[in-house]
Amino acid sequence: MIAFSFTENQLAVRDMAREIAQKIIMPDITEYDRSQKMNPRLLPAMAEANLLGFCIPEKYGGLGMDYISLGLASEELEYGDTSARVILSVHIGLFSLPVLTWANEEQKQKYLVPAAKGEKIATFGLTEPSAGTDAVGIKSTAVKDGDYYILNGEKMWISLADMADYFLIFAWTDQEKKKKRIHSGLSAFIVERDWEGVSTGSIHGKLGVRAGNTGYISFQDVKVPAKNLVYQEGAGFKIAMFCLDQGRYTVAAGSTGLIRACRDACIKYAKERQTFGVNIEQHQLVKQMIANMEAGYEYSRYLWLKAGWLKNQGKRSTKATSLAKWIACREAEAAAANAVQVHGAYGFSDEYPVERFYRNAKGASIYEGTREIHTIMQADYVLGFRQDKELERDLPPVEQ
């Protein structure tokens, strides 16, 4: 059963992330959100605090912490701003944990160790201009040529595209299966930024997560060494779905932090703002909105904690992670909308943080699987149309 208390190590990770949120992120977040730039102090601060690899085993440069610690850190960082949690999602959830689980020892030593130590930054590339949720709709190809694969294609909406040193990239290696949309024709590769033919660019004008770097990656006849194929040809779809399980987990925990941020901002404002001669905390409908935020926070937190507990036990967590992601993101959207309402006209201005919360909350219901996909997944589970088979590989269990 899930323990309703945290270990000293888990609390230490939470406190490290909370300190970064309070000291690095929150003082200047409005400035960076307005300018649509990432705070240059953020990545170095996270690396110095060992937050870029803390749940990777010590023999690979990490601290050997558990997956609930990853959730706690995600919650605290998103309390500061979504852009900070996104770093954990892509660097750890979508790159380091998959490399830990699927890569060979040579690849782990070359790529996982520097990523875990924070010496290198990493990200994940599946989405393309014409394919998001429809993973087999991607067009990128990797054609075998001797000791190399020739990679061509473009990835879109990639977090840290302009900052990452390493990319976990998915492409078709079987062209016949590509034509028939058979997912066993997809493969995964580790690609380095400085290879000839790799170029990146930033996307501006986003609705939310403006203080985070999002962009595209272009591959033009990139020679990828065959030894950078992850696991084996045809395993790309399985690896991608595994990656999404880890990314969705951090999104669920992060969205829970956003709900708490909305709640706290409304409590503070409701105790200061007066209408009709009393503080608005006295108005029943304001109380109702804050109460809904509290309820959303509590059950969203229990859902991601359950998923984290399953991960710690080495048990399949796809269903639990999907449910946690769907509900936490739904509740974050609702909490942010109500937070703007509580603040009235001031909620429509970036003078208060709830305007940013409202914009940031929307993205999470789209990336890492849309809310519609997770709704269908949960229905299919209970209707018996979907069952999780034993994975070929899964996260190693973690002793707490």
Q: Work out the burial of residue 302: count CB atoms within 10 Å of its CB; fewer than 13 is exposed, 13-18 middle, 19 or more buried.
A: middle
What is the SS3 assignment for 225?
A: strand
What whole-number distance in Å separates Cα of residue 59 and Cα of residue 50? Answer: 14
* Residue whose structure tokens are 């309390």: 79
192 has catalytic annotation: no
Q: How many CB atoms lie within 10 A of CB 335?
A: 33
What whole-number distance in Å separates Cα of residue 203 and Cα of residue 331? Answer: 27
Q: Pick the catalytic residue from 119, 233, 368, 390.
A: 368
Q: Report CA-CA distances (Å) from 204 to 113, 164, 324.
A: 32, 18, 30
Q: Are 145 and 221 in contact (CB under 8 A)?
A: no
Beta strands in the chain, from DSSP E residues, in sequence order: 122-125, 141-145, 148-159, 166-172, 186-192, 198-202, 214-225, 274-275, 278-279
Q: Which residue type, as a one-letter code, is found at position 169?
A: I
- Active-site residues: which are they? 368
